[in-house]
Structure formats: structure tokens, C-alpha cells
């Protein structure tokens, strides 16, 4: 594409649509379109930059005509997907419509200027030629401006967390929907948020308690730790070395439990809970849709504004992000960059511009590789043992009366907590096969085809002649569980003539399974309900696509056939066990009946809503690619704050062996963000959770804060 000269960036010119372009519309009335449109070259330039990143295979000069200022252009180019278009007859220099007033773009086009012509092709794609003259500033303001400070409900006296640091508890109140302000009497429209502020080392004189009213320091900068998820709580003692690192550098560290997680309840109170649970599935889905990362960011911004008001000082967050926390931070950086001082991400670069299916295609590469390591290199005998276990659980385990939300009873074992309390969750053959999620902390065996790296720590190599194989701990634990299952079943396999009552799984084995099962959906249902939704986002080039349980589709289409034990809820035929090999799944969630036994009563009321969320195709934008690209843009650095530019330091660490966040997608995401420094961890055996691991936290934080 020819360069767009500065003097022509804000001019409006005619673009004539070709007959070929007009023929792409479905209805006859769609052909009666205006022949010319306004075009804002500044926004078109940003649009084409985004297109080049999202669709690199199309980003070749020969595919685009040379667009020259002041020259009418006949558009006969190929098309790229665009969500929708604002067709405008406004003067681009009129008040409120000037592109030189700073970034006014948005990725949410809900309103059209007159004439209201949504130029949508029959294949839901739009011609690149259409005007982007006004980026709908009002839409951005409606969705991201006007966030009000949270209500500070109270501050509790300091206490010590498990790592010895002192913290105080802060309770906030925020609206369920930040751009729809409700009366405080509408309790179902409010949420309470729990936060813990670590600001000092332990009291050197335990006999002298801290004063309950000791103030929060307005001088110390704030570090905000964003944990993984979605659905996890965020206690202040989770990463002890992080607290020590930050306090030594003069920070106070705020841990916020995201809305609906941990000590921030999913409902305002029991009355609101009853009201939501009595809603239709569609209304429940609308309620749950407000718990993604975009509204988490609004909550965090409301807390920041509240603290600014309480402390009478300006506050900018320094974000330290683990896994899903990086998703949250990137949304924050997209829409509210002025609130941030720096963003530091470990194993949490979101897959920008990728659909859920594209993400899971990468995920299953890692899942298959670890299954191959387990079954081919460490415990080949377990392939047949696992077959025996799942056949027993599928056909001979005790028949359960069914879980609320399921259409039929199923076979499995009810699970209990450490104190014998009922959890409402079950072990079934499908939940057993989700144990591959624990493989994420196991190093991958080096293949000959792997690229060499400058690693100080070598990954496991089975070709070494020095000593026996070193078996990763996750594989050891799974093998121990499988061995315990086999011991319980004895000769009671499918070929046995023993009755069901004579084949049983011991409490010890069930306890081993409970300790190894890591989804814990009974205490974090949002993980199951929103796990695929966190990948759904609109852009100005593409509508959001429904997740549609993408993980199970990718698994069932895998050429190995090793995941054919999975099924969609509509499947009524008996599931057959693969004849050759079968694999465990990883960090992937699948529809009922899998989710219901796994999540228990906390999840089952929302299974109908989960299917609706999986079909939802109008998710709002989670990222503003143009805003991300402009962060720390050297070419416009001199414009500074006058032009709305921000300078947020962004550093990230990615890991070669990360099973949960693909390295290639992380590297691609870094290219979207201006000024982002990303390094691949040089230690081959380090992985997804290294930021949280004792002995590694300080090293990772040093890279993030000080550079690599």
C-alpha cells in the first residue's frame, strides 16, 4: 500500500464501488447504495495496519490498490472480514468529528450515522473500501467512559497472612453493569468486591497491635497483582516472594478478588441469588456475560478512582499479571491506558486476533505431545490400564440418580471432602479423562525436530545414558492413581462375570483422584462457564464468533482419533473407546454431561445458560488493536498527552513448554502492542506457573521490572 502523506490524512474523497463489490449483497435493495463514501485516511491507515496483523497472508502490496490522497479510487480489491461499517455524510472537519482530536476509534459499532446502511455481504464480510470516517466516539464513551468510583464499604485492621506479611482487608461495592447505573435498592444490580492490601513486613512488636485506623499510604505506589483464572480467588499470601520483592522496592500490593470469584461473591446477597437462580436460561446467560475481563477491568478502574478520592492523590497501577491476569491487563491497556504505569506479564499474553478454535488447535498440540510422553516413554502399560478403568466407570460403576440439569442418570462415584462432607461432584469416565490438565507442569521430552535453545537447564532427555529416567511429578501422581484403580478392580474388568456390587473403587483411590483433579469447578464455576468466552472478541475487522464448545470440536477432529471418548450433549449413541490409543484432555472444558458431574450443584443451575453463552455471537470488544499499536509509538512520541498518546511500559515473559498459553501465539500478541518487550524464558524446564514457584518468583520479577 502506498504511504499516506500527512497533508492528506484528514481529507474526504470519493470511492466508487465496483460492480463486482455491489454484486456481493443478498437483497436487491442492498444494491441501491450510494456510489460514493467519505473516507478518513487516518483511520483507514490504522484499519489497514490492523488488517496486516490479523491477516498477514493478505498483507501484500499487490493485493491493495495504491491509495493516493485527493484521488478517486475504484475499489476492486479482495475483501477482508469487517464487523460493521459507519457510513457518514458528515463533514470530517465538523466539530465532534475531527480525527485530529486524538484517538476516537472503537471496535464496537452499534450505531450508524445517516444514511443508516449496514453494508453486509451474504457471507458476512464487507468490502475494505467502505468509509471508516467516524469511529463512533460516542460508543467508546458509552462503554468505557463515565466509570464511577467504587463505594468503599470498610477497611479492617492489619493482620498477618500465611507468608508473614501484614495486610488489611478492603471491601468495595460496584454496579453489576458500569454503564447502566442502578439505584442502590436494586441489590441484584450490585456486587461486593473483596481486596487485600499488603503494605509492610510483619509487625516487629507483636504485643503492640496496629491501630485499626492506621491510614493507607498515599505516597507508596500501588502494584496490582492480577491472578490467573477465570474463576480463581486472589488471596494476598498466594505468592510470598512477590510480596517481599514489591515491598522492598517501595510498593504496596493490592490483591483484588475478581467479581464472582473467591471472597467476591457471584451474587450481592441471598435475595439476589434467589432472583438470579429463578431467571430463565437466557437471563442467566446475560447475567454471567458480565463477568468477563472487560467488566473486571471496569471494577479495577472503579477501585482506582475510589482510592484516588480517599487518598486525595493520583494513582496509576503497576500491573503484575499471571496467566489470565495478562488477558485482563491487555484489556485495561486497550481502553484505559492512562490509568497504568506499567504492565508486567508472565505466561499471560492473550491470543489477540484468534478465534477460540484457533486457540484450541494450538492447545491440543501441547496436550497430544504430553500424552505421547506419558504413554510412549514413561508408562506404556497404562494405556491398557486406563482402558480398563474407563470401561468400568462407563458401564459398571454405581448408577447415580442424575444431577440437576441432566436429562438422564449416569454411572460414577460421588466425591467427598477431607472432612467427609459431600461435594456434590462425581467421578465418571469422562471426568477421569480430564486429568491431563495436571500435565502442564511436566517438562516435555526433547525431540530431534525441536529447535535448540540457549538453555541453562536441559529438558528431560530419554536418550541420556546417565542414570534412570527422571519421571516428572505430575506423571508419577497420575500413575499412582491408575495403579490404585487397577488394584481395586483386580480381575473385575469387562471380561469378568462378577456383579457390579463386587467391583468397587476404594475411598483411598477416590481420595487420590480428588486431590489430583485440579479444575475444582465446585468452588469456581465461572471457570467452566466463561473459559471459552474469554477468547471471544469483536474487532473492527471481524465480528465475534461464538465459541460453540470449540475445544470438543477440535478434540473430536484430531486425526489420531484418541479423543473419541468425548461427546456432545446431543449425542445419544453409546460412546466407543478408541481401539488403538486414547488421550487425556488438558485445560479444556466440554459440555454436559461432563460439566455437571465435575462441577456439582454450584454449576448445574447454569448449564442451560452455558450452552447459550457458547452460541453467543455478539460479544463486545475486549481489545482495541489501534490503541495497543499506538502505545509508545516512537514516530509520534513528541505529541505526548496533547494527542491522547500514552506511554505504558509493557514487558512479558513466555515459556517454551507452556501447555496452557502457546508460545507462538504469545509472540504474535506481542507484535500487536507498541513498545512491548517479550522474552522467551531461557530455562527449558520452567513453565506456566514459574512466577508463583518458590525460588523462581524473584528471577521472573527481576526480568519484568529491570529488563532482560
Half-sphere exposure of 315 (CA within 13 A, CB side): 29
104 falls in which pLDDT band (50, 70, 90)?
very low
In angstroms, the CA 168 to CA 95 distance is 49
Of 152-166, 512-526, 555-569, 641-655, which range is least confident?
641-655
| Residue 351 pLDDT | 96
Average pLDDT on 198-220 reads: 68
Of 11-20, 148-157, 624-633, 671-680, which range is least confident?
11-20
* Mean pLDDT over each residue of the chain, to the nearest integer: 76
In angstroms, the CA 565 to CA 562 distance is 8
Q: What percent of the chain clears pLDDT 90, i.e. is strictly above it?
A: 50
The 3-state secondary structure of 434-485, one letter per residue: CHHHHHHHCCCCCCCCCCCCCCCCCCCCCCCCCCCCCCCHHHHHHHHHHHHH
| Residue 615 pLDDT | 94
| Residue 302 pLDDT | 98
- CA-wise closest residue to 430 among 599, 594, 601: 594
SS percent in the chain: helix, strand, coil, step 5: 35, 10, 50
In angstroms, the CA 664 to CA 671 distance is 11
- What is the H or E stretch that residue 346 is in? strand 340-346
Which one has a higher pLDDT value, 627 or 188? Answer: 627
Average pLDDT on 659-687 reads: 94
| Residue 708 pLDDT | 82
The neighbouring-strand residues paired with 345 are: 321, 652
Cβ–Cβ < 8 Å for 281, 608: yes
| Residue 113 pLDDT | 28
Of 555-564, 572-581, 638-647, 651-660, which range is least confident?
638-647
In angstroms, the CA 633 to CA 54 distance is 19
- What is the H or E stretch that residue 677 is in? strand 676-680
Indicate the burial class of 346 (C-beta count within 10 angstroms; 0-12, 13-18, 19 or more). Answer: buried
Whether the predicted pLDDT of 138 surpasses 60: no
The full set of domain ranges for the chain reads 1-145, 356-615
Whether the predicted pLDDT of 221 surpasses 70: yes
| Residue 100 pLDDT | 34
Which one has a higher pLDDT value, 19 or 300? Answer: 300
Of 341-355, 483-497, 601-615, 671-685, which range is least confident?
483-497
| Residue 544 pLDDT | 78
Average pLDDT on 643-661 reads: 86
Matching residue, cell 500413575: 479
Model confidence pLDDT, tens digit, residues 509-540: 999 999 998 888 888 999 999 999 999 998 76
In angstroms, the CA 335 to CA 329 distance is 10
- CA-wise closest residue to 339 among 291, 309, 302: 302
Of 193-197, 312-316, 374-378, 643-647, which range is least confident?
643-647
575 falls in which pLDDT band (50, 70, 90)?
low
| Residue 165 pLDDT | 83
- CA-wise closest residue to 282 among 609, 578, 616, 598: 609
Whether the predicted pLDDT of 385 surpasses 80: yes
- Count of Cβ atoms closer than 10 Å to residue 161 Cβ: 18
- Of 46-50, 461-465, 638-642, which has the strongest mean pLDDT? 46-50
Average pLDDT on 370-398 reads: 93
Of 264-278, 401-415, 578-592, which range is least confident?
401-415
| Residue 363 pLDDT | 96
| Residue 47 pLDDT | 58
| Residue 590 pLDDT | 84
Whether the predicted pLDDT of 443 surpasses 90: no
CB burial of 489-505 (b: ≥16 within 10 Å; e: otherwise) equals beebbeeeeeeeeebbb
| Residue 633 pLDDT | 54
Whether the predicted pLDDT of 483 surpasses 70: yes
Whether the predicted pLDDT of 110 surpasses 50: no
Q: Is the peptide bond before 230 cis (omega within 30 degrees of 0)?
A: yes
594 falls in which pLDDT band (50, 70, 90)?
confident
Task: State phi, psi for 597 to the nearest 5 degrees.
Answer: -65, -30
Matching residue, cell 491477516: 55
Q: CA angle 304-703-334, nearest 5°?
A: 40
Average pLDDT on 53-82 reads: 40
Whether the predicted pLDDT of 336 surpasses 90: yes
| Residue 123 pLDDT | 39
| Residue 496 pLDDT | 44
Average pLDDT on 469-497 reads: 81
Radius of gyration of the CA atoms of the chain, in A: 27
| Residue 21 pLDDT | 35
- CA-wise closest residue to 246 among 225, 265, 269, 272: 225
| Residue 491 pLDDT | 54
Which one has a higher pLDDT value, 159 or 100? Answer: 159
79 falls in which pLDDT band (50, 70, 90)?
very low
Average pLDDT on 13-37 reads: 38
| Residue 684 pLDDT | 84
| Residue 596 pLDDT | 80
Amino acid at each position: 500500500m502506498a504511504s499516506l502523506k500527512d497533508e492528506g490524512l484528514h481529507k474526504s474523497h470519493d470511492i466508487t464501488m465496483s460492480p463486482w463489490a455491489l454484486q456481493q449483497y443478498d437483497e436487491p435493495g442492498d444494491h441501491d447504495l450510494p456510489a460514493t463514501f467519505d473516507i478518513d485516511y487516518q483511520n483507514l491507515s490504522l484499519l489497514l495496519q490492523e488488517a496486516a496483523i490479523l491477516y498477514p497472508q493478505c498483507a501484500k502490496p499487490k493485493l491493495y490498490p495504491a491509495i493516493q490522497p485527493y484521488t478517486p479510487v475504484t475499489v476492486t480489491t479482495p475483501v477482508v472480514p469487517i464487523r460493521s461499517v459507519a457510513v457518514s455524510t458528515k463533514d470530517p472537519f465538523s466539530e465532534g468529528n475531527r480525527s485530529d482530536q486524538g484517538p476516537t476509534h472503537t471496535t464496537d459499532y452499534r450505531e450508524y450515522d445517516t444514511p443508516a446502511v449496514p453494508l453486509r455481504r451474504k457471507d458476512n464480510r464487507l468490502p475494505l473500501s467502505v468509509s471508516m470516517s467516524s469511529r463512533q466516539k460516542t460508543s467508546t464513551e458509552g462503554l468505557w467512559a463515565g466509570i464511577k468510583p467504587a463505594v468503599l464499604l470498610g477497611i479492617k485492621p492489619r493482620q498477618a497472612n500465611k507468608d508473614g506479611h501484614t495486610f488489611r482487608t478492603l471491601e468495595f461495592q460496584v454496579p453489576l453493569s458500569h454503564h447502566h447505573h442502578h439505584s442502590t435498592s436494586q441489590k441484584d444490580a450490585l456486587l461486593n468486591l473483596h481486596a487485600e492490601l499488603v503494605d509492610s513486613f510483619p509487625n516487629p512488636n507483636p504485643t503492640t497491635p496496629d491501630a485499626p485506623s492506621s491510614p493507607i499510604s498515599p505516597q507508596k505506589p500501588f502494584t496490582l497483582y492480577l491472578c490467573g483464572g477465570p474463576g480463581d480467588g486472589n488471596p494476598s499470601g498466594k505468592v510470598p516472594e512477590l510480596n517481599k520483592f514489591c515491598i522492598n522496592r517501595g510498593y504496596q500490593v493490592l490483591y483484588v478478588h475478581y467479581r464472582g470469584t473467591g471472597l467476591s461473591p457471584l451474587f450481592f446477597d441471598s435475595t439476589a441469588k434467589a432472583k438470579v437462580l429463578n431467571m430463565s436460561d437466557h437471563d442467566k446467560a446475560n447475567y454471567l456475560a458480565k463477568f468477563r475481563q472487560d467488566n473486571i477491568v471496569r471494577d479495577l478502574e472503579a477501585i482506582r478512582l475510589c482510592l484516588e478520592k480517599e487518598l486525595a492523590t493520583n494513582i496509576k497501577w503497576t500491573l503484575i499479571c499471571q496467566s489470565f491476569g495478562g488477558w485482563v491487563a491487555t484489556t485495561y491497556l486497550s481502553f484505559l491506558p492512562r490509568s497504568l504505569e506499567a504492565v508486567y506479564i508472565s505466561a499471560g499474553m492473550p491470543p489477540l486476533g484468534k478465534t477460540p478454535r484457533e486457540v484450541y488447535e494450538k492447545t491440543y498440540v501441547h496436550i497430544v505431545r504430553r500424552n505421547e510422553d506419558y504413554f510412549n516413554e514413561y508408562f506404556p502399560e497404562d494405556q491398557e490400564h486406563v482402558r480398563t478403568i474407563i470401561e468400568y466407570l462407563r458401564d459398571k460403576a454405581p448408577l447415580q440418580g442424575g444431577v440437576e440439569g441432566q436429562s438422564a442418570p449416569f454411572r460414577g462415584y460421588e466425591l467427598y471432602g477431607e472432612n467427609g462432607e459431600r461435594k456434590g461432584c462425581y467421578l465418571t469416565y469422562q471426568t477421569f479423562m480430564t486429568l491431563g490438565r495436571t500435565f502442564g507442569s511436566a517438562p516435555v521430552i526433547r525431540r530431534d525436530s525441536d529447535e535448540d535453545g540457549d538453555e541453562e537447564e536441559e529438558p528431560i532427555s530419554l536418550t541420556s545414558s546417565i542414570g534412570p529416567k527422571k519421571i516428572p511429578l505430575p506423571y508419577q501422581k497420575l500413575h499412582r492413581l491408575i495403579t490404585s484403580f487397577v488394584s481395586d478392580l483386580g480381575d473385575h474388568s469387562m471380561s469378568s462375570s462378577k456383579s457390579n456390587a463386587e467391583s468397587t473403587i476404594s475411598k483411598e483411590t477416590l481420595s487420590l483422584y480428588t486431590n489430583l483433579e485440579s479444575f475444582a469447578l465446585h468452588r469456581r464455576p465461572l471457570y467452566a462457564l466463561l473459559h471459552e468466552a474469554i477468547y471471544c472478541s469483536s474487532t473492527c475487522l471481524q465480528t465475534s464468533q461464538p465459541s460453540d464448545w470449540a475445544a470438543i470440536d477440535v478434540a473430536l477432529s484430531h486425526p489420531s482419533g484418541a479423543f473419541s471418548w468425548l461427546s456432545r450433549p446431543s449425542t445419544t449413541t453409546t460412546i466407543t473407546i478408541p481401539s488403538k490409543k486414547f488421550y487425556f484432555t488438558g485445560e479444556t472444558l466440554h459440555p454436559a454431561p461432563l460439566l455437571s458431574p465435575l462441577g456439582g450443584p454450584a454449576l448445574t443451575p447454569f448449564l442451560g445458560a452455558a450452552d447459550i453463552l457458547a452460541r453467543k455471537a455478539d460479544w463486545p470488544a475486549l481489545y482495541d488493536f489501534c490503541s495497543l499499536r499506538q502505545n509508545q509509538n516512537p514516530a509520534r512520541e513528541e505529541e505526548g498527552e496533547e494527542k491522547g498518546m500514552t506511554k505504558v511500559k509493557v514487558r512479558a515473559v513466555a515459556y517454551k513448554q507452556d501447555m496452557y498459553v502457546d508460545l507462538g501465539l504469545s509472540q504474535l500478541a506481542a507484535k500487536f502492542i507498541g513498545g512491548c518487550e517479550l522474552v522467551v524464558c531461557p530455562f527449558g524446564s520452567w513453565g506456566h506457573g514459574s512466577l508463583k514457584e518458590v525460588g523462581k518468583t524473584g528471577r521472573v520479577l527481576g526480568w519484568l521490572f529491570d529488563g532482560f
